[in-house]
């Protein structure tokens, strides 16, 4: 690593710690997966103070949702945050736990909103349910959220892979035709200042701020989702555990489930599934 990136890295870490965004940062040169790293760390040290961040220069077994692997080339920002709801802000009225199924969508909105601030055609940065971040129907960022079991307090690991400088031409199919990078999409003025550290800083700050807001605002998702949803009014083909469903996307319900109306007018709420294809 050259001196400039070394400096940028130390100042990003310092900013995240000294401004109180995070309790701990581990910047790893190589790891299997930042999600797995944090899972192990939390299981070994159950008193770990959160939120804490793990970032990797290289991932040897990056994981995606389901059984998918995450292609983790140079130029991809790969990080995970271990997070738990903030007890001090909770009262009966504010308790976020009954709304916890909204978490993946809220994370998607947070990251999309941080990326909107970097990209010129900002309104085209959207979330493909539940939380992939796209621009013009090309994937910029994938998110993997896992809960950690066996701890005294509930805890989630929020992992994200952001294509910052990734050269998509080198990607295996089908990624090559379905993904893009921030470097490819940003304006030439922004290109000079674009770096993994600044993207990380923007995303982490936006994520922590948004999660705090969401915990105290029961209407957050209902208000924000329409502006971010890539699929609303589009035709989707969604794979469920034992079958697939095709129909028009009619937004989400209060749990964050995707509402699909089939050609016969029947409505379904899908809490978990994979949108395999769509037409907008
Ligand atoms: C997906 O699109 O299927 C989710 C991809 C999530 C990838 C990130 S990279 C950092 C973190 N560590 C992992 O092993 N996965 C997530």
pLDDT digits (tens, 9 = 90+) for 74-133: 999 999 999 999 875 555 555 899 999 999 999 999 999 999 999 988 899 999 999 999
Which atom, in ligand 1's list, is nearest to the CA of 56?
Answer: 10
Does ligand 1 lie within 6 Å of residue 80's CB atom? Answer: yes
**20 vs 13, 23, 57, CA distance in Å?**
11, 7, 24
- Cα of 200 from ligand 1 centre, angstroms: 15
Q: Which residue has the CA at smallest separation from atom 2 of ligand 1? A: 142
Cα gap 38→63, rounded to integer Å = 13
Tell me the per-residue pLDDT of 179-195, one tens digit each, with 9 for 90 and over: 999 999 998 888 888 99
pLDDT at residue 146 tops 60:
yes
Of 63, 72, 166, 239, the one to substitute when testing ligand 1's pocket (max ligand atoms within 8 A of C-beta) is 63
130: preceding bond cis by omega (within 30 degrees): yes
Q: Which residue has the CA at smallest separation from atom 9 of ligand 1? A: 161
Which atom, in ligand 1's list, is nearest to the CA of 132?
Answer: 2
Neighbouring C-beta atoms of residue 146, cutoff 10 Å: 17
What is the model's pLDDT at position 93? 54
Which atom, in ligand 1's list, is nearest to the CA of 68?
Answer: 3
Tell me the per-residue pLDDT of 151-161, one tens digit each, with 9 for 90 and over: 988 999 999 99
What is the model's pLDDT at position 90? 52
Does ligand 1 lie within 6 Å of residue 160's CB atom? Answer: yes
Residues 6+ apart with CB under 8 A from 7: none
Cα gap 277→275, rounded to integer Å = 6
What is the model's pLDDT at position 166? 94
Cβ 153 vs Cβ 84: under 8 Å: yes
- Cα of 52 from ligand 1 centre, angstroms: 17
Does ligand 1 lie within 6 Å of residue 131's CB atom? Answer: no
Tell me the per-residue pLDDT of 213-251, one tens digit each, with 9 for 90 and over: 999 899 999 999 999 999 999 999 999 999 999 999 999
- Cα of 220 from ligand 1 centre, angstroms: 25
Mean pLDDT of 37-47: 95
Of 53, 60, 70, 146, the one to substitute when testing ligand 1's pocket (max ligand atoms within 8 A of C-beta) is 70
CA angle 47, 201, 6 (to 5 degrees): 95
What is the model's pLDDT at position 191? 84
Q: Rounded mean pLDDT of the chain?
A: 94
Tell me the per-residue pLDDT of 247-274, one tens digit each, with 9 for 90 and over: 999 999 999 999 999 999 999 999 999 9
Mean pLDDT of 15-20: 93
């Amino acid at each position: 690593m050259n001196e400039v990136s070394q400096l940028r890295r130390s100042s990003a870490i310092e900013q995240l710690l000294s401004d109180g965004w995070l309790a701990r940062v581990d910047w790893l040169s190589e790891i299997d997966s930042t999600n797995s790293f944090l899972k192990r760390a939390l299981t070994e040290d159950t008193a770990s103070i959160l939120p804490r961040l793990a970032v990797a220069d290289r991932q040897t077994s990056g994981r995606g949702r389901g059984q998918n692997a995450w292609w983790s080339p140079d130029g991809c920002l790969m990080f995970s945050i271990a997070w738990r709801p903030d007890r001090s802000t909770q009262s009966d009225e504010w308790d976020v736990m009954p709304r916890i199924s909204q978490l993946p969508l809220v994370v998607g909105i947070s990251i999309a909103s941080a990326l909107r601030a970097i990209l010129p055609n900002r309104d085209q940065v959207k979330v493909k349910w539940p939380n992939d971040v796209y621009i013009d129907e090309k994937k910029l960022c994938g998110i993997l959220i896992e809960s950690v079991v066996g701890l005294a307090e509930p805890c989630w690991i929020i992992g994200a892979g952001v294509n910052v400088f990734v050269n998509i031409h080198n990607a295996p199919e089908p990624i090559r035709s379905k993904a893009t990078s921030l470097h490819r999409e940003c304006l030439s003025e922004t290109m000079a200042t674009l770096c993994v550290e600044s993207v990380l800083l923007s995303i982490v700050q936006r994520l922590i701020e948004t999660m705090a807001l969401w915990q105290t605002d029961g209407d957050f998702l209902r208000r924000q989702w329409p502006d971010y949803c890539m699929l609303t009014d589009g035709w989707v083909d969604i794979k469920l555990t034992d079958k697939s469903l095709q129909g028009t996307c009619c937004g989400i319900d209060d749990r964050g489930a995707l509402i699909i109306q089939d050609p016969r007018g029947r409505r379904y709420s899908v809490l978990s599934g994979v949108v395999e294809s769509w037409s907008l």
